[in-house]
Structure 1
Amino acid sequence: MFNITKKVIKDNKTIKQEAKKKKDEFSFWAWFKNRCSHYCSVTALHGYNHLVRKDFALWEKVIWGILSFAAMVVALSLLYLSLHWNSETPTVTVIESTHFATWNIPFPAVTICNANKIDENRLNQRVGQMILPADIDEDDLEYMLKVFLSGSNSPESKDTLGMLAYILKANNLTTYDFMFDIATSCRRMIQKCMWKGVQVRCDAIFQRVMTLNDACCSFNFFGYDKTNYIAKSASQITEARRVSACGFQTGLSVILNPNIDRYTSAAISSYGFRVMIHDAYSVADDNAETKMVQAGQEGYISVIPEATYSTPEVQEKPLEIRKCFKTDEVKLNTMKKYSYINCLAECRQTIVLKACGCIPYKFPNNGSIPVCEPNKMKCVSELKDFYKSAAPETNFTLPGIYQTVNDKSCGCMPDCDYYTYITEISTGVFSRENAFSSESFL
């Protein structure tokens, strides 16, 4: 028993001595080579196991080594490109769903503009209250207004516009107030209104607004801090309306009167209306979906809305990375909420104000910006191509100006969250005789 114990102790000492000897003789290169050989033999990556197989010749191993190295270089290159592209475009746009609840999207604003810019009867009433020079009558004033509305910049129009400005000043009238007053009123233009299948008072849901198409009537528009709704209506509705179903029965229906007998200065060679569909908080400009409805026709305008929104992760990123503005991130001077359309509208406003010292009466205005009188419109006309472009402050027709355009446009950026409304229209001859007898709306 003693001999066996002594032998075990001796063997343990021998093992420890050999282990210590091996530790002292440790070679990193041998260890690394052994690990690499083991990795190549067990990895699932194609080609690496051929480098350590004993049944392969040296030239075969060299070929497989070159191929494996080339594959690694290509993989690393693709990884670098992916990281580079991701740093340049860290956000992506995807189609989440084509089935979205209707009530999640605000109903668009509907702005209706009569093709006639001047109501003849209203003009005659207004002129009867004005003080005119002895050699100027109502027909002369009507001619001056037509020259003014045409935007003529000819030398002959200079004296005409100067006289119009003198008459307005003599009667203590601004261009905005006068043009707003002689346009067709919403009460005369819109005869009946139905919202969500219920007939309502038109003056409770429509307000008069000034647009690039002169004075118009707008439904569900809340772009300005101050509205022109009647007091009772304004106290009830403060945000954009919504609908819970599809179809014209749950939308907006109106009967319009073009007042053909009052036409004096039409924007187009037709009797009818221009209907603009746009965001409830964005100004109605040339970018709005526009449809023409002629007199004596019944039109059905279908709206296909699209909602684009950014996730909270995107909105938390710095502005230089997300490259879009949140609705409450920028405070505009005239409009209630930020949108790219509103920003461009104020950008054009700023350009004309700096150059001419005033803005056209059609531009958005909160009352703090001077409005150009008729004799100042020459300056505005000369800037027309400069400020009416898609990118204000630029007037280029050459390609390759992307960077130049980005540096201008008053720093306007796209919206992080916005709605677009695609429209289609179908029309037919309007006839009350063939309508259902129970349809009191007609």
Structure 2
Amino acid sequence: MKRSSSRRTVACRDAAKGLILDYCSNSSVHGVQYFGCRERSGCEKFWWFAVFLLSLGSCALLIEKTYLKWDQTPVIVSFNERATPVWQIPLPAVTICPQTKALTTKLNFSNDVGEFMHNHDISGEKMDTLLATLQLCDRNFHQVFFDPSVFPDKTTNQSYASLIKDMPILTQENLGDCSIRSELTSCTNLFSYSLTEEGVCVTFNGLSANELLRTENIQTEDSYLTSINRSTFWTQEDGYSHQATVRTYPYRSLGSGISAGISVTLQNHDFLLEYLCSGPNPGYKILLHSPVDYPHISNKFVRISRNREVAIAVKPQIITTSTGLRDYTPEGRQCFFNHERYLQFFREYTQNNCELECLTNFTLHYCGCVRFSMLRTPRTAVCETNQIMCMLKAEETLLEMDVVTQGNSEPNFRAKCNCLPACTSVQYDLEVTQTELEWYRYWETFAEDLSKLEGTQMARLGVYYKESQFITSRRSELYGLTDFLANCGGLLGLCMGVSLLSLVELLYFCLVRPVVLWRNQKTVVQVKNKDEAPEKVLLAKSGN
């Protein structure tokens, strides 16, 4: 039995050696044929084996680098080959907020604040109106003039938002001579109200609350958006459908220049304005944003002074994403499609909406309440005026969080928000020009009685696209699977002369060829056994 087992081992070893020599003699891989060549000396075989290992290692290193590039940076942002006409995108949404926060007809802010600071002799609805106005004052007012922590809590059941809405500074009646695409129209048709941290503002071309907000998750006591226009034939990701007409909402421009944009006249009266709360510039803050963005004024705005005419030439910067990237993870492509990222308060995902929701959640975490203008659930408390510094500190802390916690292994609150850009996003580059608006002298030329306009202040705003076409950017695959395989094949061919057939050849000698040899050997043994059997019978008979 031992001799039979030893013979079988020797036979298997000889068969394996023969198979290897057969592969080396017939392989298409460069250098391998020298390993089994009987005419080569041992020194030559060692040389070729070392060169083969060096080539194999170099190829593996290069393939690893290619894989890391494919895995870690699979996306490239490049310019589109063709220009896009501006009529394929909507005009930017325009939100206008007055910087004056109190009307003297509603509240004598300076006197009431001074009266409270001296003898605290204010109460009831008047006190609540003062507290609501204080929430609109800028940071310098609270840091330099008055400490908001000394003010009491609101006492009436009326919310801060409703108190602010009861004393609007900029109403649709204050807007005059509105036009879109050189066509005069009612400002009521173009503008709707928006509740922001600056108070009650007016917005052009924004989406309605039912389209932009998850109204089922939001309190219903105060309304945030009053627009009723529906974007039936437009979405942020797909643009306008083929059913869209020239007048489809959101409104779009048909070309470049002010004649294809919008313009609006803003007017107010000197004797109605209060300066202490908002400072010495009683003009307006203008925010240009995407129709799917909720307006957040504080950090991004253009300032317009009274008696000035301001023209804003807009150059859109749009980034789209190829369908080939939909199979990638959001972290890999560095953007979210609308269906991939759920926001509690917004139906439309944008980076701005995500960051606003993140600020809301962090303010709730930091202060136990949220600002009156922030979207909230029915059970979320609204911060009192004496908590203003806490809200400002929460915003400052959130902004500093990435820098302060840099290098920590645990993700911070801001990182957990994960506010990547939307896969289809738009930003606006603005060119602002302004000149003095001598409207009073203009009206004098009509020889009309201007006494009724005494104390009136006006400003005029125009928004339009600078050019009739623009170049969009596009996220696409830097290395797809096909590109990766092609690069690997090129490196294998360069370093070792390997092709796909070389791999098939290796599999053949590893799997198919041994089975064929084993079956052939088994057939030979069976034939040999059949030939030996009669000989044994004849020998047995002759022995008898």
What is the TM-score normalised by the length of structure 2?
Answer: 0.59
Q: Provide, for residues 63-94 of structure 1, a one-character-per-residue CA deviation record: whole Å limited to 9, x for no partner.
A: 99978875664444222111122112333322
In 2, Cα distance between equivalents of 1:238 and 1:430: 33
**1:396-432 deviation digits (Å, cap 9, x = unpaired):** 4475469735873434333122111111111112235
Partner of 1:424, secondary structure, is strand
Deviation at 1:203, TM superposition (A): 1.4
Aligned to 1:55: none
Residue equivalent to 1:410: 417
Whether 1:275 aligns to 2:286 is: yes
Q: CA deviation at 1:245?
A: 1.3
Q: What corresponds to 1:310 in structure 2?
A: 321
Closer, same or farther: CA 429–59 of 1 in aligned 2, 3 Å: farther
Q: How does 1:306-345 map to 2 (within 5 A)?
A: 306-319=317-330, 321-345=332-356
User: 2:133–2:164: 8 Å Cα contact kept in structure 1?
Assistant: no
What is the rounded CA distance, in whole Å, between the counterparts of 1:361 and 1:123 in structure 2?
20
Q: Give the alignment partner of residue 175 of structure 1, picking from 157, 160, 183.
A: 160
Change (3 A) 1:257 1:434: closer
Secondary structure of 2:287's counterpart equals strand
Structure 1 contact 271–295 (Cα < 8 Å) conserved:
yes
Describe the superposition over 1:317-372 as per-residue Cα deviations: whole angstroms up to 9, x where unpaired.
34454453221334433333111211121122122224444311132347664422
Q: Which residue of structure 1 lines up, in the alignment, with residue 216 of structure 2?
A: none
CA drift at 1:211: 1.7
**Residues 367 and 239 of structure 1: CA distance in aligned 2, closer, same or farther (over 3 Å):** farther
* Cα separation, 2, equivalents of 1:373 and 1:285: 20
Match of 2:262 in 1: 252
AA aligned opposite 1:346: E
Aligned-partner residue type, residue 192 of structure 2: Q
Pairs aligned (count): 391
User: CA offsets, 1:170-210, max 9 Å, x none?
Assistant: xx421111122223132243222111111111111111112
Tell me how far apart the structure 2 counterparts of residues 235 and 82 of structure 1 sit (CA, whole Å). Answer: 45
Q: Considering only aligned residues, what root-mean-square deviation do their CA atoms show, in Å?
A: 4.6
Q: Measure the CA separation in 2 of the matches of 1:331 and 1:260.
A: 46
Q: 1:205 to 1:189 in 2, by over 3 A?
A: same
Change (3 A) 1:124 1:40: closer
Whether the aligned pair in 1 keeps the contact of 2:209 and 2:227 (CA below 8 Å) is: no
CA–CA distance in structure 1, aligned partners of residues 24 and 231 of structure 2: 82
Matches within 5 A, 1:70-109: 73-97=57-81, 99-109=83-93
Whole-Å separation in 2 of the counterparts to 1:420 and 1:280: 11
Secondary structure at 1:218's aligned position in 2? strand
What is the deviation of 1:220?
0.8
Name 2:200's counterpart in structure 1.
Answer: 215
Q: What one-letter code is carried by the residue in structure 2 that aligns with 1:83? A: Y
**By how many angstroms is 1:234 displaced?**
6.5
Partner of residue 116, structure 1? 100
Amino acid at match of 2:281: S
Q: CA deviation at 1:111?
A: 0.7
Residue 422, structure 1, aligned to residue 429, structure 2: yes
Aligned mate of 1:431, from 438, 455, 469:
438
The Cα of 1:311 is off from its aligned counterpart by: 1.9
Match of 2:363 in 1: 352
Q: Where in structure 2 are there 5+ consecutive unaligned residues?
A: 1-14, 33-41, 211-222, 233-246, 446-459, 462-544
- Give the aligned partner of residue 136 of structure 1: 122
Task: Name the CA distance, whole Å, in 1 between partners of 2:189 and 2:230.
Answer: 8
Q: Which residue number corresponds to residue 151 of structure 2?
A: 161
Q: What's the offset of the Cα at 1:301?
A: 0.4
Question: 2 CA distance for matches of 1:140 and 1:242?
Answer: 45
Given the superposition, is the C-alpha separation of residues 425 and 407 from structure 1 closer, same or farther in structure 2, using an over 3 Å criterion? Answer: closer
C-alpha contact (below 8 Å) 2:362/2:413 kept by paired residues: no
Q: Distance in 2 between matches of 1:246 and 1:358?
A: 45
Question: For the structure 1 residues 358 and 134, does the alpha-carbon distance in structure 2 shift closer, same or farther, using more than 3 Å as the test?
Answer: closer
Q: Is the 8 A contact 1:103 1:244 kept in 2?
A: yes
Residue range with higher mean Cα deviation, 222-231 or 251-260:
222-231
Hey, what's the Cα distance between the residues in 2 that align with 1:382 and 1:40?
68
Gap change, CA 1:420 and 1:147, over 3 Å in 2: closer
Letter in 2 for 1:332: L
Cα 1:331–1:123, aligned 2, differ >3 Å: closer, same or farther?
farther
Once the two structures are superposed, the pairs formed by residues 209-248 of structure 1 within 5 Å of their partners are 209-222=194-207, 224-225=209-210, 228-229=225-226, 239-248=249-258
CA distance in 2 between partners of 1:221 and 1:425 (Å): 22
Tell me if the contact between 2:208 and 2:226 (Cα under 8 Å) persists in the aligned partners: no
SS in structure 2 of the partner of residue 81 of structure 1 = helix
Distance 2:48 2:434 in 1: 72
How far apart, CA to CA, are the structure 2 residues paired with 1:205 and 1:359? 30
Alignment check: 8 A CA contact 2:132 2:163 kept = no
The 10-residue stretch of structure 1 (238-247 or 209-218) with the greater mean CA deviation from structure 2: 238-247
In structure 2, C-alpha distance between the alignment counterparts of 1:182 and 1:81, rounded to whole Å = 64
TM-score normalised over the length of structure 1: 0.71
Aligned partner of 1:194 in structure 2 is 179
Distance 1:346 1:277 in 2: 19
Which residue of the partner structure matches residue 45 of structure 1?
none
Counterpart amino acid of 1:177? S
1:261 aligns with 2:271: yes
Higher RCO (CA 8 Å, separation ≥ 6 residues): 2
Q: Which protein shows a greater Rg? A: 2
Letter of the 1:113 counterpart: C
